[in-house]
Amino acid sequence: MSQPNTLYAILGIEASSSAEDIEMAYLARLKEAQDAGTETSLLKIAYDNLRVPDLRAAYDRRLARERALQSRAIESVESKPGGRRYSLLFLMLLLAIGAAYWKKKPIENPSPPLSLAQENAMDSPAPDLPAPPSAEAEAPPAEIPAQNEPVALPSDIQAAQPKAETRTVTYSHPACKPGFDPQCLAWSVFMIRQRHKSGSGVLIAPDRILTNCHVLAGGATNGLIVIHKQTNTVARVEQYTRLADEDVCLLHAPGAGGDVIPWGASDNLGNGDTTYNLGHPGGSSDVIWSEAKFIARTERNGVPYLVTSNYCRPGSSGGPLLDGQGRLVGVVTAVQANRSQNDGAVRYGACFSITEATARKLMGRTFFPIALAPAQFN
């Protein structure tokens, strides 16, 4: 039988089922579904991930790792006299200890919370950004080579220089000023961290954080958390929802707060209009932001993107793109990358963001346990 609480169990098939079996099971279960909302959405998640060979292979590897870990835990107990009788009690004790540890666990970054201070040195060299803790890799925006870009971009696009926080303790929420106020808007920005990488996210509803799906890929069983760097508070991600074939996900993290970013309209952007972005490039503990210009609109695989000259680097993924009034008009997703033929060094250019209209489609969608998130995204 298929393992319970898996995508295979949702479709009622074995892990060894063929592609034809998956297709037939999905159509049959869909026809039998009584709930036009949650049940059919869950079936579609299972079908979308099992019908694609690469996604299915990654999911199977994750299941194999989980089974191996469970087997080792049980065998280590049952190898002792009387262990079989106490294995269940032992596992329950482990869960209790883990829960207690999480409640008492110190915050990953003990440095004081940070506030934003505007810097006028726009022409100064970009600062060296700190690497994430334990040499973990940050979640990079997908690199978009300039030569493959469907929109004609100037070859001399210069990304805006970053502006960072000063190390000033400020646990209290600052009073918000009209327009773009980085000190205030930073309270809507989160670092998203899992075991192997980190990225950025933005609060669009209480405890609801918008980000890119590639930021959380592989992190469903790696203790996916969100960190609010203004207060150094940590919240666990419990649920998620996503759009099919689009790199945008919405996370449910109880306790994340209610400092919701204001919505804007990307359709109102004109060439040369001022844009801002905020996030945690390079795994920086600071909220890094930049002021730049709107360049163009483009489309990749049927998904509309906004092209700007903002400062975008690995780790910026999932951070908000804002208009001149500090309203959400997009989600940073990718960056133009030019590789030198001489030394192989990467030079970054234009920043690409999914529009807020795409992100709005997630509002009101059914959430699912984060453990059901795919191990990778297209």
* Closest of 152, 293, 264, 111 to residue 202, by C-alpha: 264
What tokens appear for 218 in the block?
């592989």
What are 202-217's pLDDT values in tens digits? Answer: 999 999 999 999 998 8
**122 by DSSP, 3-state: which?**
coil
What are 20-63's pLDDT values in tens digits? Answer: 788 888 888 877 776 555 566 677 777 777 877 777 887 787 77
The per-residue pLDDT for 104 is: 43
Q: How far is Cα 287 from Cα 167, in angstroms, rounded to an integer?
A: 11
β strands within the chain, DSSP E: 115-116, 142-145, 165-166, 189-193, 198-205, 208-211, 225-228, 233-236, 239-242, 249-252, 274-279, 288-300, 303-308, 320-322, 328-339, 346-355, 368-369
What are 223-275's pLDDT values in tens digits? Answer: 789 999 888 899 999 999 998 878 999 999 999 999 999 999 999 999 999 99
Strands 239-242 and 328-339: unpaired
Residue with tokens 């959405």: 41
**H/E run at residue 62:** helix 53-78
Domains parsed from the chain with CATH numbers: 7-103 (1.10.287), 115-360 (2.40.10.120)
* Closest of 261, 240, 260, 248 to residue 371, by C-alpha: 240
- pLDDT greater than 80 at residue 298: yes
The per-residue pLDDT for 126 is: 30
Q: How confident is the model at residue 280 (pLDDT cuts 50, 70, 90)?
A: very high
* Closest of 187, 201, 241 to residue 331, by C-alpha: 201
What tokens appear for 125 in the block?
């060299």
Cβ neighbours, 10 Å, residue 126: 15
How much is the average pLDDT of 65-80? 56
* Under 8 Å between Cβ of 211 and 317: yes
User: Does pTM top 0.75 for this prediction?
Assistant: no
Residues facing residue 235 across a β-bridge = 226
What tokens appear for 237 in the block?
């991600």
Residues facing residue 200 across a β-bridge = 191
Q: How far is Cα 310 from Cα 288, in angstroms, rounded to an integer?
A: 11
The per-residue pLDDT for 53 is: 79
DSSP symbol at 284:
-
**226 by DSSP, 3-state: which?**
strand
